[in-house]
Structure 1
C-alpha cells in the first residue's frame, strides 16, 4: 500500500515537472540550436559533443540507471515507439543522458540502455560537465537522500525532441499515449 502511494506521488511529481519543463522550453525557444555546447563521452567512452544533435533529428531523455520506474518505463516505451516507426524513423537519433554521472559510468550506461534498444546511445562524463549540459537544456535534477545511506534522483521526466538543426521541436510527456508519442516522432522524422 505504502509503495503504491509513493509511486503515485512520484508519478504526479513527474507530471508536474514535465509541465514546468515544457513551459521552460516554450519560453526559451528561439530558433537557435538548443542547449549550450558540451564535451562528454558516449557509452563506449568516445567523445560526444552538441554536434551529435545536428544533421538528424534527435530524441533526448535525461535520467539515471538506478531509477525505479520513470527511466526504465520511458526507455522501454521509446524503444517501442522507434520499432513502430520502422524505416520511417530510421533518421532519428536517440540519446539517454545521465543525471547521475557519479554512478553512471559509460560501461554501466551501455549495459543499461542495451537492455532496451541498440538505437539509444548513452551519454555520461565528468559530473560538473554533465550537470552544466543538463542545466543548459532546462533539465531539473536533484539528489535525494533515501535515509539508508543511498540516494535517488528527482529529475525531469519529459523526452526532448530536437530537429536536425538541434533546435527545440517539442516534448513527449511521461505517461503520454503511445499514439501521440509516435505521431510526434513521425513529425520530427519528417522534419529531417
Structure 2
C-alpha cells in the first residue's frame, strides 16, 4: 500500500518534470504564416520578410519620435540580442514605422543605429503601411498636441516573434524584460 501511494505521489512530479518549457509570450496556436510585406529598408535594400528566412524575426511597429515605448522596447531587444552571444546572428529585429510623414529611411537608420546597427527598419506610403498593419492586427493613430502642429502616435506595442520558417509563433506584450525575450528566442532557436 505504501509503495502504491509513493508511486501515485511521484506521478505529478514526473509529469511536471517532463513538461516542455513554454514561451513567455502569447503563443499563436497553431502557428500561422506571417504576412509578407515589401517596404523601403533603412539599410538601402527592399525590406521583405522573405529576406530573413532561416532567422528568427522580432517584428515591431513604432516611430522615431516615440517618447517611451519604442526606445524602451528597442533597448530591451538590443540587450536580449547581445545576451544571445553567437546565436544573435540568427535573430533579426525589424522595425516598421507607424509615422511615415516624419520617418524616412535615413531617420530610421540613424534611430535604430543608436540601439543596434543590425536592426533594420522600414517605411512606405501611408496606405501601404496601413494595409500591413491591418494584416498584423496592429493599430496606429495620430494624436494631436495641445498646441501647434506637433503630434504623437498611439500604436500597438507588442513584438511579434516569427520563426525561421516565417511563421508567427508568439506576440510579446510591452513591458517584458530582455531575459523573457532571451528565454523565448532560445526555445525557438532550439526548435527544429
What's the TM-score bracket when you normalise by the shorter of the two chains?
Answer: 0.7 to 0.9
Aligned equivalents of 1:84, 1:121: Cα separation in 2: 19
The 1:43–1:31 alpha-carbon spacing in structure 2 relative to 1, beyond 3 Å, is: same
TM score, norm. by length of structure 1: 0.79
Q: Which residue of 2 aligns with 1:191?
A: 191
Aligned equivalents of 1:180, 1:90: Cα separation in 2: 18
Preserved contact between residue 159 and residue 173 of structure 1 (Cα < 8 Å): yes
Aligned equivalents of 2:86, 2:59: Cα separation in 1: 19
TM score, norm. by length of structure 2: 0.79
1:51-75 deviations in whole A, cap 9, x for unaligned?
1353321111110001000000110
Aligned equivalents of 1:134, 1:121: Cα separation in 2: 17
Aligned equivalents of 2:168, 2:188: Cα separation in 1: 11
Distance apart, 1:30 and its partner CA: 5.0
Preserved contact between residue 56 and residue 164 of structure 2 (Cα < 8 Å): yes
Aligned equivalents of 1:159, 1:128: Cα separation in 2: 22
* 1:54-73 alignment, distance < 5 Å: 54-73=53-72
Q: Which residue of 2 aligns with 1:179?
A: 179
Q: What is the SS of the residue equivalent to 2:183?
A: helix
Moved more, 176-185 or 62-71: 176-185
Q: Which residue of 1 aligns with 2:124?
A: 125
Q: Which residue of 2 aligns with 1:3?
A: none
Q: Does 1:157 align with 2:140?
A: no
* 1:56-135 alignment, distance < 5 Å: 56-135=55-134
Q: Flag the structure with higher strand content.
A: 2
Equivalent pairs, count = 167
In the alignment, structure 1 segments of 5+ residues that lack a partner are 1-21
Superposition CA RMSD, Å: 1.9
Q: Flag the structure with higher helix content.
A: 1
Q: Does 1:39 align with 2:16?
A: no
Aligned equivalents of 1:177, 1:50: Cα separation in 2: 25
